[in-house]
Chains A and B, each alone.
Chain A
Amino acid sequence: MFDTLRLSAIPDADEALRPLVREFAALARKSRPAEERVRSWIGYDAELSRALGQAGLLGLTLPKEYGGGGGGPFARFVVVEELLAVGAPVAAHWIADRQSAPLLLNYGTEAQRRFFLPKIAKGELFFCIGMSEPGSGSDLASVRSRAERTESGWRLNGQKIWTTTALHADYMIALVRTCGSSSDRQAGLSQFLVHLRAPGVTVRPIIDLTGTAEFAEIFFDNVELGEDALVGQEGGGWNQVTAELAFERSGPERIYSAVVLIDEWIGHLRTHGRLQGAAAELAGQFTAQLMVLRSLSMAVTARLAAGESPVIEASLSKDLGTSFEQSIPALIADDLGSHPDEAVSSDFYRTLQFVSRIAPSYSLRGGTREILRGIIARGLGLR
């Protein structure tokens, strides 16, 4: 079962990227409080994204002819790992670099590739993904937003919601219905490039329980799209989205969302001289799980590097990773609370409570725990 997942080393050529990206990471670490850094891949800084693009650290998996790095998935793994390790705010380019660019490379027209990919690699064009709708969450095939044919292209109507980074993104790649009705399920879905400043598009922020407008709802009111807005095949949207999700689910970000909190906590333990006993055991538990989950994420990355689409393996990696991430604030909170007379810095306290509040989202975004376990069960031959 899952025998293809093996201990896999990072190729030397990809490791060679580390010193450069560590310079950016060190700067982010010095210049931002932990409370900000723990937002990491939902923390927005367009300037950082452009600087990373200028330095050649985005679009690493894209061919050089499209302005990319011409590397494999491990090149991106190294860069992402170093940025997430310190909580550098990578949200601006995150979706474009991780998902939209590979999608356009695999399914886009030559013109789409030539237009979009170099700008993504430069950190100049930011994307979001239009999947969820008010009536469609886990049951993604029930989307009702619809694009209808016009003489010059398509006319889009409908609504998307819970869309991460939509407030700052330039484009959305939206999954919408192009034929049939929601009872046709996976058939009749297509993906479109939608410019978020186009007439008829309204983006409204949604404030979350941390006080942040990290996601948004987007309304499409007779949005006119050109022929060239279609991505891939008309009616092929479902298969394209499924392939895309293997990229979304396997990366180190599914393990590292709360590592900044661990390191702040370790700083706290050192301040108070608690380097033995229960605290050490908990630090060791976190470290052991990080080490093994990292090797699992690398094993899945090796499948991507081999040109496979490891959908089941990625689901497994994400469910294990997010369960670990979610355990971190609960266990650290218990440790702090078990020493009620210990002084706690306000930055660390806010960092802890931010993660406690946002942690439920770790196992929602990119496919819920229950959906992922269903995918794994199918892989086990149970469905």
Chain B
Amino acid sequence: MEELDLLPSFERLLDDACPLEVVRAVEAGGSANRLWAAVEESGFLNLLVPEAAGGAGVTLSNAAPLIEALGAWLVPAPVAQTMAARALLAAAGHSAPPGPILLATAAARQTANLPFAEVADHALIELDGKVILLRLTPEMRRPAGLHASRTAALVFPETTALATLDLSAGALRALGAVLRAAEIAGMSAKALDITISYANERTQFGKPIGKQQAVQQQLAVMAEQTVLARMAGRLGCASGLPPAQDAAAAAKQAASAAVPLLTSIAHAVHGAIGISEEYQLQLYTRRLYEWRLADGSESYWAGLLGVSRLRSEAETSIDFVRAASPV
């Protein structure tokens, strides 16, 4: 399998280019240019680009572990989105511009708050029913002003399309949702590791708190939700690029729904240290809160999937689920 070959070198790249100090610096308003240059240099940005167009031609399904790694390393730039955007552009015969490309959907010429919109140079955006590539200018960005976050909404008074893609309505949001589901899985897995280590180290009442049944039961639930999120992300990634809407909906519904449960357990187990800035847990949970609602929360996707289910002619729920599942 291709992903097994690529994952170790990708993880080494992230170890070198994206330690937590870099994450903190970019979140605090610093430049992501050095990080970006390292990722660009590695060639991984063309991972999903078809071989005929000079890319590695890896399927999104096989790339899923790498997308998870982008979440686990908290990469503070839209790397997964750029990988996907480059693949879509290449498939349509367009060359991709250098630098980070955001995926977005705009209604009434304004987007929702988009994580790391402040560090993106371009956006592939569904606007007025058309998917176009835009160069982002400072006037287009409306920063959310949130502490340690580069989230911004985008507004488009007028636009000049650098390229136009023939994609169906909603396809871009489904793609964004699937990438976030996989990243949620990666972030959650790392948050789980940190929380288990802490539970094994922190001693109260004369023993590590991880020896307390009440804590063990909570951590078991956190592990379950983490595995669920991973299966969700894999399911979404396996449904193609762009993904099928029903599979994307299931992926993001399940991954987003896992977030409140597992983040609350991570913080409960950590106690006060978990909400201090110096400690690393908050880097993951802050990101998870934003990822849960970006590109649609669990209820958004449940609504779309539900309408699809209720309108389908499948005889049973299982028939529907089998037809909608990529494997």
Q: A-facing mask of B210-242, CB < 8 A → 1, else 0?
A: 110101110111011011101110110010000
Of B234, B304, B327, which is within 8 A of A284 by CB? Answer: B304
Does any Cβ of A come within 8 Å of B305's Cβ?
yes
Total contacting residues, chain A, CB less than 8 A: 57
Does any Cβ of B come within 8 Å of A16's Cβ?
no
- Residues in B whose Cβ lies below 8 Å from that of A372: 220
A372's nearest neighbour on chain B, judged by CB, is B220
- Residues in A whose Cβ lies below 8 Å from that of B230: 2, 5
List 27 A–B pairs whose Cβ atoms lie within 8 Å, in order of A's numbering. Answer: A7-B234, A86-B316, A256-B318, A280-B306, A280-B310, A283-B306, A283-B310, A284-B306, A284-B308, A286-B317, A287-B317, A287-B324, A288-B302, A290-B317, A290-B321, A291-B254, A292-B232, A292-B250, A292-B254, A294-B318, A295-B234, A296-B227, A296-B231, A298-B327, A374-B220, A377-B219, A382-B210
Bound-state Cα–Cα, A381 to B211, Å = 10
Q: Is the CB of B223 within 8 A of A376?
A: yes
Chain B nearest Cβ from A250, distance in angstroms: 13
Does any Cβ of A come within 8 Å of B164's Cβ?
no
- Residues in B whose Cβ lies below 8 Å from that of A263: 316-317
Does any Cβ of B come within 8 Å of A150's Cβ?
no
Does any Cβ of B come within 8 Å of A6's Cβ?
yes
Does any Cβ of B come within 8 Å of A373's Cβ?
yes
Q: A-facing mask of B294-310, CB < 8 A → 1, else 0?
A: 00001101111111111
Which stretch from A116-124, A153-161, A269-277 is at the chain B interface? A269-277
Does any Cβ of A come within 8 Å of B189's Cβ?
yes
Residues of B within 8 A of A (CB): 61, 189, 192-193, 196, 199-200, 210-211, 213, 215-217, 219-221, 223-224, 226-228, 230-232, 234-235, 238, 247, 249-251, 253-254, 257, 298-299, 301-311, 315-321, 324-327
Does any Cβ of B come within 8 Å of A166's Cβ?
no
Bound-state Cα–Cα, A29 to B304, Å = 28
Does any Cβ of B come within 8 Å of A299's Cβ?
yes
Bound-state Cα–Cα, A292 to B229, Å = 9
Q: Is the CB of B211 within 8 A of A382?
A: yes
Q: Is the CB of B223 within 8 A of A291?
A: no
Of A1, A275, A295, A298, which is within 8 A of B307 by CB? Answer: A275
Q: B-facing mask of A290-313, CB < 8 A → 1, else 0?
A: 111111101100000000000000
- Residues in B whose Cβ lies below 8 Å from that of A285: 253, 257, 298, 302, 306
Of B234, B315, B317, which is within 8 A of A6 by CB? Answer: B234
Of B61, B193, B210, B301, which is within 8 A of A288 by CB? Answer: B301
Within 8 A of B (CB), among A98-135: none
Bound-state Cα–Cα, A133 to B57, Å = 59
- Residues in A whose Cβ lies below 8 Å from that of B217: 370, 373-374, 377
Q: Is the CB of A377 within 8 A of B216?
A: yes
Bound-state Cα–Cα, A281 to B15, Å = 40
Q: Is the CB of A284 within 8 A of B316?
A: no
Q: Is the CB of A259 within 8 A of B316?
A: yes
Bound-state Cα–Cα, A187 to B298, Å = 48
- Residues in B whose Cβ lies below 8 Å from that of A259: 316-318
- Residues in B whose Cβ lies below 8 Å from that of A167: none
Bound-state Cα–Cα, A300 to B36, Å = 38
B303's nearest neighbour on chain A, judged by CB, is A281
- Residues in B whose Cβ lies below 8 Å from that of A97: none
B256's nearest neighbour on chain A, judged by CB, is A288
Chain A nearest Cβ from B137, distance in angstroms: 38
Bound-state Cα–Cα, A376 to B238, Å = 28
Does any Cβ of B come within 8 Å of A383's Cβ?
yes
- Residues in B whose Cβ lies below 8 Å from that of A294: 318, 321, 325
- Residues in B whose Cβ lies below 8 Å from that of A289: 253-254
- Residues in A whose Cβ lies below 8 Å from that of B226: 1
Does any Cβ of B come within 8 Å of A85's Cβ?
yes
- Residues in B whose Cβ lies below 8 Å from that of A286: 317
- Residues in A whose Cβ lies below 8 Å from that of B253: 284-285, 288-289
B196's nearest neighbour on chain A, judged by CB, is A380
Q: Is the CB of A7 within 8 A of B327?
A: yes
Q: Is the CB of A290 within 8 A of B304?
A: no
Bound-state Cα–Cα, A187 to B219, Å = 30
Q: Is the CB of A295 within 8 A of B231?
A: yes
Q: Is the CB of A288 within 8 A of B254?
A: yes
Q: Is the CB of B216 within 8 A of A383?
A: yes
Bound-state Cα–Cα, A232 to B249, Å = 48
- Residues in B whose Cβ lies below 8 Å from that of A382: 196, 199-200, 210-211, 215-216, 219
Q: Is the CB of A287 within 8 A of B227?
A: no
Chain B nearest Cβ from A363, distance in angstroms: 13
Given contacts A8-B327, A266-B317, A280-B310, contact A292 B216 (CB under 8 A): no
